[in-house]
Structure 1
Amino acid sequence: MVAQAAKARDKAALAAALKQAEGVGLTEDSDKGVHAAREVLKALEAQERHSKARAEASEELRRAAQGEDQRRLIAALEGADAASIAGPEVASARERLRNLRARAGAAQELRDAANSGDVYRLRAAIAAARGAHVGEQELAGAREALQSLEMQAQARRHLEAAASAKDPEQLRRCIEEAKRAGVNRQEVAKAQLELQSLTQSRVGRELGEAASSGDIHRLGAAVRAATDAGMTGAEVDAAWQRVRALESDSWLRQQLEGAVAGSDAIRLQ
């Protein structure tokens, strides 16, 4: 009966036969048939364990390949290798792992590029992220960052052009544009210093011309503009003195003209 069960490789029948053999005093040491049957039973149990392990490893590989967890998928592939699983399911899982790694790398580059402030790098990162099927939410954030960087780049170009043109009004408008675009404070401060220099230079020229013209109204406006532009020093002080002198002369002329017109002898004295 033991030999028959061993030949049939029926685990349940073999276990029952061995138990029966033990009941009548047959052991592996005393009976070659019992020994052989015991070895067959061990082999069947090992095969069963191996089959179970393969099934579990295969199922875990399938589940891991459906998810987004790279670590789980790597562990599942290692388990499949240990269980001697090969074929299309393993190839598919490895391809899935490559895709997950590519997506993770593209997503990381997308974040780094957005933080770098480099428009060209971010454009390339967005293109690569689309190809790697990075999530739409991350892509949307990167596109917003790109739009902001492009606005800043345009504002910088406008600042440079205005500074080269030495046009205070144009530069003033470009500084406001740069602020709205989020250009960093250091660049804006540099442009503001340039604007102050241009303004003072223009105001200084007007101040000199107004002082030479003898036009009290023009000179008064020029001095006030110089003061508003932050100009100080001897030139401004001299201009104020010139304004006061012109105002005094103007007042005296008005008094004389009034006296002459009214034939006011007392006022003419």
Structure 2
Amino acid sequence: MDLNIMSFENVTFTYMPDNESVRPAVEGLSFSIKQGEWIALVGHNGSGKSTIAKLMNGLLFPQSGTVTAMDQKMSEESLWEIRSQMGMVFQNPDNQFVGATVQDDVAFALENNGVPHAEMVQRVHESLRQVKMEEYLNHEPHHLSGGQKQRVAIAGALALRPRLLILDEATSMLDPQGRMEVIETIRELREATGLTVISITHDLEEAALADRILVMNAGHKQVEGTPEDVFFAGNKLTELGLDLPFAMRMSKLLTEAGVQLSNEHMSEDRLVEDLWTFYSKK
């Protein structure tokens, strides 16, 4: 039986609720996320993504509606129990480091949670191995590349053994190589562990890897579905100020130029494979 790990039920939040001229940041929002899913939450600036992230981890509470996480209603009483089962990775990796070395940084939250030393060492090594950063155990975090820093931040979250990992624009400040490293790390982790992932992003290349996409606009859910469902409604996305993944844009241009493709492709690998097949027949 599939269990919901997070759900919003008719959630509304306004930053200035007494001012009727201020529209809600999130209004009447409902969705649910099942154990083991990868959900991408996308939208342009001002769409409500950041507010949703704060509602998810209890930094904000809705004025109406209900946020439920880990089978508990989000409240002042349940907040810390819920947060103990979440890991979060934020936009700027430099703002997340507190340790002098990579292993110190990953161990920081474990120490604060009173994890015994022997177990703490085991968890640090295990989580760094999961993100392929174990060889950097004694490196200073600020000497790492952007992608490496985010992988260490992910290791710090994983060391707490969360049921849910929330990535809040975690790749937005990275160069293409760093972005690819982080996305590949998340994909491999999910396949290996069944971790539930919520990716809050404006990068549709990243969103294309998710099981399901929620598209937000002006505080409302506009589109929800698999990446195929969402991206093949391309006109609706462009009307909301979002672009299609590069491979889909290129597929359209190639088709318009007379290249016979089997489909519009969401990934560059599939597009290249299709092109190789097309030209190998000539």
Category of TM-score, reference length = shorter chain: under 0.3
> Which structure ranks higher in relative contact order (CA pairs < 8 Å, sequence separation ≥ 6)?
2
Specify which structure has the higher proportion of strand: 2
